[in-house]
Structure 1
Amino acid sequence: MQKDKKLIVYDIFFLIASLYFALLLRFEFNVPSEYMIFFKLSVVPVVIVTLICNKFFNLYNNIWKYASVEELISIVYSVSLSNIIFIIYSYFVNYKILENRYYRFPYTVHIILWILSVLALGGIRFTYRLSGDKKEENCTKRRHKNLLIIGAGDAAAMLIKEIKKHTNFNYNIIGLIDDDKSKRGKLIKGIEVLGGRNEIIEVCKNRQIEEIIIAMPSAELHTKREIINICKNTKCKLKTLPGIYEMIDGNINITKLRDVNIEDLLGREEVKLNTQNISKYIKNKIIMVTGGGGSIGSELCRQIAKFQPKQLLILDIYENNVYDLEMELNYNYIDLNKKIIIASIRDGGRLKDVFRKYTPQVVFHAAAHKHVPLMEGNPQEAVKNNIIGTYEVLKCCDEFKVEKFVQISTDKAVNPTNVMGATKRFCEIMVQAFNEVSKTEYVAVRFGNVLGSNGSVIPLFKRQIAHGGPVTVTHPEINRFFMTIPEAAQLVIQAGAIAAGGEIFVLDMGKPVKIVDLARDLITLSGYEPDMDIKIEYTGLRPGEKLYEELLMNEVALTSTEHDKIFIEKPAKIDMNFIEKSIGEFKEVLDQDKEQIIQLIEKKVPTYKRKK
């Protein structure tokens, strides 16, 4: 309110001054006395009319710290309207001053007054903005983090604008980095391009950089990885804008900034899908995903939704996760026909009712117990869920003539050393047995660890880092194959399109990664120094845990497919009588002690070699 009063006082002063100078300029600084008399008579009406117009166009309500072109237009409208009213006033309400002559201002005075009034009223208000920006700049430079932006393109320009507008993000932008030599020394939004990627470490050291933002949304992944690896040596916290394909609307916004994740280092180029083949077996079909609320299951639902299924059935025993997924799909896929089904795959009767009612045509089976140490201590639950639950789903697919069944398997099923891996290997055996006797096409897809999935090592490391450490690793040499959640889900769907029945598909996981290297990278990306700021502790291998995982049975040759990331382990002939008899034995032994259950698993899965 105090500022509004000041503005009104300033406006009155500058309006009077503008009218006086308009007269001086029109008459070349020699104003006739009769016009000075008319000036004195016109001052009050001009001021009153202009103030009323200013009020009408909200010139006393705006927060001028955020003034932009829209506010300037409001000033032009107000001054224009007040001048039109003044012209009408001076035409009809003129004054007989000397010798019975009527006097009014020449039209050139009104033109000059319009120009001077726009400059005066606009200048006052935009001075508010500039002084406000300067104050914020002066005070924030003392408390904001020194920031370096990697990339000097459109994304960086928009990011600089956003950061300057949102001063609460606590950034003092020091400079830009770009490999384009033609940009060196040039300014973008007032920020200088300091050099290329080879200068990153030197710039960070000399300019006391605390944080780095990678603003290269369209750059290829291998380029981003190279830059991230350089930035890891600066001890700066890293953030990045997501890739263009992640930003559906294509807008660059500071709210889309995220921390650089380990996925940015390990992720692969975007998976190329044969959408035509996928569309053939998903579009306008009724698709069921068991375990639909889990990490892989929920991502499968997101990917399937893109291919316009006739109906998506999301089956899960846990209502919380599946509720969150339902809300997400409601927002992102408004027209998706979906049904949430709360049910257990162990309950054969309930499953039959579901299959009978909804008649799914394709089933993706992601429901399973997957945590190795927990299943070592609870083998009966692993058998109930992973083996007997999967058997119930397989039976329903056969009975209700499902076209295609896709089993989500794991690298831990290869020469398993733990209960979880052994039960998943038996699931693969059942898949191949059912394929021999059923018209349904049964296949399994095997892959390694999924970055960011529930219970995976990355979320655990992030929590440990957030608490100041230590970060716990079981063994300095332990390694694993890794894949991102979207990549795993996309390749599962793609494998389903290739399937003819009976295959075990193996996804190309690249090279295995040491877990301790993951831990070190994640600590560094969080802005800390491994073993100094955050300690790494080795806790020893857990029950059933391998040092190295394998993706294939050693004795089985691999066959390539039309997709360069998907391979096939040749179908094996499995007798269905063996499966039926084994399921009966598993059901009988569930009430026995832990040792008897494990002995039966060893008998049914010959490649299972438990650690003593």
Structure 2
Amino acid sequence: LAVWFASLNLPAARRHVGNLEEVSQAVFMLDMFATILLLAGLRMVVRLYHEEFRTEEAGRLKRLLIVGAGNAGEALLREIHRMPVAEYEVVGFIDDDPAKRGTLIHGLPVLGTVGQLPDICEARNIEEIAIAMPSATHQQRRRVIQVFDEGTNIRFRTVPSITDIASGRLRVSQIRDVGINDLLGREVVQLDEDMIEAFLKDKVILVTGAGGSIGSEMCRQVCKYGPRNLVLVEQAENPLFYIERELRRQFSSVNLAAVICDITDSVRVGQVFETYRPQVVIHAAAHKHVPLMELNPGEAVKNNILGTKTVADAAAEFGSTNFVMISTDKAVNPTSIMGSSKRIAEMYIQNLSMTSRTQYVTVRFGNVLGSDGSVVPIFKKQIAEGGPLTVTHPEMKRYFMTIPEASQLVLQAATMGKGGEIFVLDMGEPVKIVDLAKELITLSGFRPGEDIEIVFTGPRPGEKLFEELSIEGEDMQRTHHPKISVWKNIPMDREGLLAGIEDILRAAHTQDRELIVSKIKSLVPEYIGNGAAAQ
């Protein structure tokens, strides 16, 4: 356009420029056409070069199928075509919308539906699948994997968020491997940010178990709301070192105190509370590994019962306003030392709320994805070693939640408490562990049962096939948050509870398993403590 405009105006300008009047007007027109042809030709040469380069490289390109023929899929295709160096050969699209079947998007066809993926991929030698459905539910993403019921060597990829698509910021470099969180994770949790900020801002917050999976995430979430001080309490020095370093880097404005402390040591706990005077205590420290605690019952009792009692008593003594204990679905109808010890801790917290000005609440939830020593990291390690994957029972199911979601909902529940409540988080639907194993194998590019075996080892001591989130007869009520329910019962009489706890703690020092189990049953009669798995 600039060349055209300049060429048209040059004849008029030649009257004002010396020696140009003698130049024929035809020369200017020829110059215009020649310049336009040269510029267009240069662009054409560059384009033909890239097309020829792509053709020559086609034998080495990864054959890619895009699931989702909407805006995200079309944007992904355009971005792939813009790449200066070809990496993918896009074969076509997959979409469940029947109206799109057979249509063309930039010359590439919509080949079929998600249910037809295995046949289409086999027929067209697909190497990678890009899930271009940023607003899809986790169930919809999971279905893309599950249609390959016998597994596949195809690599599964996914695009970033819908906001990146809408803003035009999508880049091929942002496409990442599909992870287990994409399949089992949950929708973004909605929080009442104002309530949480009022609960935490400008206050002294103390988190026990600060180096653990839940405790460290609780610290990250707390820092977002501007506490005056955050006290990190942890027995293990290395995890404490790493979380403190991370928080200092990410939240430089927050005052941090890293404290090595055994929560069963009442003198040391008292020193910590006297020094920092926390207003809000988040108690995440616990022994949680079921089979290991079956082998070390005394340690489970001391850490989970005595440790909770020690920290909770200190909160009352030093005037903390709020105390939040993290509990587990394994405390419901427990079949393990770990679960029963957490149930007794729940009972103590409820009882203490009756006699203290501190508001004590418990938040109960199931497994979290990716926590230390949990099933997902174990499976990933077994896959890296070539298998087999060990699953205890083909019917074993567990509830799963992401660590950030659990931590956010704990804070939300804490703002609702008046004292004595047990809040229960909505965990969604339970997932079969064997299905989880198959999906992780598939996501890793292997075929379950062929490339990597799955071996059933039988339930371990203390394990249940199905976890429960509430005890039969509990009067569960919904709160104003759709993912949080609440239960408040009449606590056991204080003298009887304290006497029972003292008996259990004395038994714990003997490490006599049978004695410990019998003492636990006196407080938790529903506990099935025979050391064998129970359904």
Which TM-score band (shorter chain)? 0.7 to 0.9
After TM superposition, the score normalised by the length of structure 2 is: 0.83
Q: Quick check: 1:559–1:570 contact (8 Å CA) kept in 2?
A: no
Q: Quick check: 1:201–1:234 contact (8 Å CA) kept in 2?
A: no
Alpha carbon RMSD of aligned pairs, Å? Answer: 3.7
1:245-260 aligned at under 5 Å gives the runs 251-260=169-178
Q: Distance in 1 between matches of 2:307 and 2:266?
A: 8
Selected match of 1:415 from 307, 327, 333: 333
Q: Distance in 2 between matches of 1:330 and 1:158?
A: 39
Q: Quick check: 1:417–1:610 contact (8 Å CA) kept in 2?
A: yes
- Quick check: 1:537 aligned with 2:455? yes
- Label 1:246 to 1:343 Cα distance change in 2 as closer, same or farther (>3 A): farther
Deviations 1:461-508 (A, max 9, x none): 222223322111111222222222222222212211221111112222
Counterpart for residue 526 of structure 2: 607
Deviates further, 487-496 or 237-246: 237-246
Counterpart for residue 216 of structure 1: 133
Counterpart for residue 174 of structure 1: 91
Q: Distance in 2 between matches of 1:582 and 1:167?
A: 72
Q: Quick check: 1:151–1:216 contact (8 Å CA) kept in 2?
A: yes
C-alpha displacement of 1:379: 1.8
- Quick check: 1:548 aligned with 2:459? no
Q: Quick check: 1:232–1:524 contact (8 Å CA) kept in 2?
A: no
Q: Quick check: 1:162–1:253 contact (8 Å CA) kept in 2?
A: yes
C-alpha displacement of 1:217: 1.3
- Quick check: 1:503 aligned with 2:426? no
1:418-437 aligned at under 5 Å gives the runs 418-437=336-355
- Quick check: 1:438 aligned with 2:356? yes
Q: Quick check: 2:160–2:170 contact (8 Å CA) kept in 1?
A: no
More helix by share: 1
Counterpart for residue 159 of structure 2: 241
Higher relative contact order (CA 8 A, sep 6+): 2
C-alpha displacement of 1:257: 3.0
Q: Quick check: 2:264–2:307 contact (8 Å CA) kept in 1?
A: yes
C-alpha displacement of 1:399: 1.3
Q: Distance in 2 between matches of 1:322 and 1:401?
A: 26
- Quick check: 1:277 aligned with 2:195? yes
Letter in 2 for 1:381: E
SS across alignment from 1:209:
coil
Counterpart for residue 488 of structure 2: 570
Letter in 2 for 1:611: N
- Label 1:553 to 1:328 Cα distance change in 2 as closer, same or farther (>3 A): same
Which structure 2 residue ranges, 5 or more long, are not aligned? 7-16
Deviations 1:345-364 (A, max 9, x none): 23333332332233222221
Counterpart for residue 449 of structure 1: 367
Larger Rg computed on CA atoms:
1
Selected match of 2:432 from 495, 502, 514: 514
After TM superposition, the score normalised by the length of structure 1 is: 0.74
Selected match of 1:207 from 118, 124, 132: 124
Q: How many residues align?
A: 518
Q: Distance in 1 between matches of 2:498 and 2:369?
A: 36
1:395-414 aligned at under 5 Å gives the runs 395-414=313-332
Q: Quick check: 1:287–1:361 contact (8 Å CA) kept in 2?
A: yes
Q: Distance in 1 between matches of 2:432 and 2:83?
A: 40
Selected match of 2:294 from 360, 367, 376: 376
Q: Quick check: 1:205–1:234 contact (8 Å CA) kept in 2?
A: no
Q: Quick check: 1:370–1:420 contact (8 Å CA) kept in 2?
A: yes
Counterpart for residue 468 of structure 1: 386
Q: Quick check: 1:394–1:431 contact (8 Å CA) kept in 2?
A: yes
1:155-170 aligned at under 5 Å gives the runs 155-164=72-81, 170=87
C-alpha displacement of 1:248: 13
Q: Distance in 2 between matches of 1:234 and 1:386?
A: 41
Deviates further, 236-245 or 184-193: 184-193
Deviations 1:246-269 (A, max 9, x none): 999994333443333344333333
Which structure 1 residue ranges, 5 or more long, are not aligned? 1-72, 81-90, 95-101
Selected match of 1:485 from 403, 409, 413: 403
Selected match of 1:302 from 216, 220, 227: 220
Q: Quick check: 2:210–2:285 contact (8 Å CA) kept in 1?
A: yes
Letter in 1 for 2:130: I
Q: Quick check: 1:204–1:234 contact (8 Å CA) kept in 2?
A: no
